[in-house]
Amino acid sequence: MEAKKQALLWAGICLLIVLPALDTAFAAPKTGLLITVTTGNQKIVDEDIPGARQAAVTDALERAVVNAFSHTVSPRVFASHLGFLYGRLLDAARDYVVTYRVLGAVDHQDTYLVGVESKINLELLEQALTEAGILNVGTDMPMILFLIAEQTPKDLLPRYWWGNNPEPYKSHAETRIIEIMKDNRFKIAGMGPQRPDTRFYDIRFPSIYDADAAVDLAEKVNADMVVIGRASAAESANRMGDEKIFDAVIKLTAYDAGSGQQVVTCENTAAAKSDPDQEGDIRAIEKAADLAAMELAEKLDRYWSGHLRKESHFDVEITGDGFLPRFIALKKRLAEIGEIQNMQPKEIGSDRAVMELVYKGSPSHFADSIMLKTFEGFGIEVGAVTDDIVKIRFIDEDRIMMPADVPAADTVDEENIAE
């Protein structure tokens, strides 16, 4: 009788889990969140039910992150980065969980079982995958490196993390600006502990606002643009009764890392008084940062859209083992890229080809686009990327798990090669 009761309880929790999963798994991708339902389990040791419950919830959240990872990348990329998944992502699984709720729980045969609905931050996950070189999160928006110095009334000099004699600090302006830029689909380079060390790259800043050095650093971290700025706050001459008012100003200048040219400038001001939760100078800086970020996002979006619309003429050199069948597969993928306006063969051999492209965008943008494509049985490596040529080489992926129902390409229709 007891066994039957436990079976009924478990059937109930399964029903509770499966029904919501049909509607909510992989939901709401446009919001940057993945809503998914997963199960978790943990053996109960020494009648420690609270401990088992917590461990089971953790297990369920880790499975949610696995779902998010598989949702974000192709099966091939997923299979080839299991080490990153288990060695990096799952160790910090809760960092990617926005909220979760336990749908049901049951003690079954000395094992605690839970069903959990969780919301996973896809943008944060994609950022981690991008910084690890696993994913290029779209190619329609640029990667930006921010160098924003900050000075409050307590600081004798502006504080910064790059250049000569940097010091650790939290930039309130940079934090707010980056949050808003990410909400507008911009990609961010060098965040948090991943900030690039200028000494490692042997880049010297004559001043912390030196544009040439900033562009050099942006190129080293594969950023498309760099934004140099200064945020400052000072006590205002105005008062609100006995309360002090603080004025803040933020000045930003954006440079194209490819050309080194200045493309956008912004200057925004704001004022604020202190409240019980925050000092007035910080509130003023954050208010000015909100205005600066909105203006910057609008101007950079306009600039980048125009930048991508410019046509480029360049060659694509393709080499590698198993050339002919892989070349045919690559041509099919190239046909899926809408920005390619024209593609003509210049040279085609048994182990090498050169294609002439007319492309709506830059060669580096094309390289990003082709790196997002996946292939059956092989991969590609992008070598040199210049204004005149992009070099692609076929590489073997012996460790990739292949689906059992995908037939191997044993034959080659050589008539299709030059089409």
Q: How far is residue 385's CA from residue 357's CA, in Å, rounded to a whole number?
A: 14
Q: Render pLDDT for 277-306 as a digit per residue (tens, 0 to 9).
A: 678 889 999 999 999 999 999 999 888 877
Verify that 294 and 319 share a domain, yes or no. Answer: no
Verify that 171 and 275 share a domain, yes or no. Answer: yes
Q: How far is residue 229's CA from residue 265's CA, in Å, rounded to a whole number?
A: 10
3-state per-residue secondary structure call for the chain: CHHHHHHHHHHHHHHHHHHHHHHHCCECHHHCEEEEEEEEEEECCCCCHHHHHHHHHHHHHHHHHHHHHHHHCCHHHHHHCHHHHHHHHHHHHHHHEEEEEEEEEEEECCEEEEEEEEEEEHHHHHHHHHHCCCCCCCCCCCEEEEEEEEECCCCCCCECCCCCCCCCCCCHHHHHHHHHHHHCCCEEECCHHHCCCCCCCCCCCCCCCCHHHHHHHHHHCCCCEEEEEEEEEEEEEEEECCEEEEEEEEEEEEEECCCCCEEEEEEEEEEEECECCECHHHHHHHHHHHHHHHHHHHHHHHHHHHHHHCEEEEEEEEEECCHHHHHHHHHHHHCCCCCEEEEEEEEECCCEEEEEEEEECCHHHHHHHHHCCCCCCEEEEEEEECCCEEEEEEEECCCCCCCCCCCCCCCCCHHHCCC
Residue 57: the pLDDT is 93
Verify that 345 and 218 share a domain, yes or no. Answer: no
Residue 74: the pLDDT is 65
Residue predicted with more confidence, 418 or 204: 204
Mean pLDDT of 327-345: 86
For residue 56 the two structure tokens come to 């089971």
Residue 403: the pLDDT is 36
Q: Render pLDDT for 6-33 as a digit per residue (tens, 0 to 9).
A: 444 444 444 343 433 333 344 333 346 7
- Residue finishing a domain among 127, 154, 177: 127
Verify that 41 and 64 share a domain, yes or no. Answer: yes
Verify that 277 and 412 share a domain, yes or no. Answer: no
Confidence of residue 361 (pLDDT cuts 50, 70, 90): confident
Q: Render pLDDT for 72-84 as a digit per residue (tens, 0 to 9).
A: 776 667 777 888 8
Mean pLDDT of 143-151: 92
Q: Flag whether pLDDT at 373 surpasses 80.
A: no
Whole-model pTM over 0.85: no
Verify that 225 and 248 share a domain, yes or no. Answer: yes
Q: What percent of the chain has pLDDT over 70?
A: 81
Confidence of residue 37 (pLDDT cuts 50, 70, 90): very high
- Residue finishing a domain among 264, 279, 307: 307
For residue 204 the two structure tokens come to 């010297």
Verify that 177 and 284 share a domain, yes or no. Answer: yes
Mean pLDDT of 201-212: 91
Residue 9: the pLDDT is 47
Residue 252: the pLDDT is 97
* Length of the chain as a residue count: 419
Verify that 301 and 331 share a domain, yes or no. Answer: no
Verify that 168 and 283 share a domain, yes or no. Answer: yes
Mean pLDDT of 213-238: 90
- Residue finishing a domain among 79, 98, 127: 127
Residue predicted with more confidence, 360 or 31: 360
Burial label, 200 (beta-carbon count in 10 A; 0-12, 13-18, 19+):
exposed
Verify that 93 and 117 share a domain, yes or no. Answer: yes
Verify that 68 and 142 share a domain, yes or no. Answer: no
Check which CATH number belongs to the domain holding 65 and give it.
3.30.1660.40
Least reliable range by pLDDT among 75-84, 171-180, 231-240: 75-84
Residue 409: the pLDDT is 36
Check which CATH number belongs to the domain holding 320 and give it.
3.30.70
Residue 371: the pLDDT is 77
Least reliable range by pLDDT among 157-171, 221-235, 345-359: 157-171
Residue predicted with more confidence, 368 or 299: 299
Average of per-residue pLDDT values in the chain: 80
Confidence of residue 405 (pLDDT cuts 50, 70, 90): very low
Q: Flag whether pLDDT at 404 surpasses 80.
A: no
Instruction: State the total domains in the chain.
Output: 3
Range of the structural domain that residue 278 is part of: 136-307
Q: Render pLDDT for 250-272 as a digit per residue (tens, 0 to 9).
A: 999 999 988 889 999 999 999 98
Check which CATH number belongs to the domain holding 288 and give it.
3.40.50.10610
Confidence of residue 194 (pLDDT cuts 50, 70, 90): low
Verify that 164 and 103 share a domain, yes or no. Answer: no
Q: How far is residue 134's CA from residue 175's CA, in Å, rounded to a whole number?
A: 25
Q: Flag whether pLDDT at 248 surpasses 80.
A: yes
Mean pLDDT of 161-188: 84
Q: How far is residue 298's CA from residue 266's CA, in Å, rounded to a whole number?
A: 11
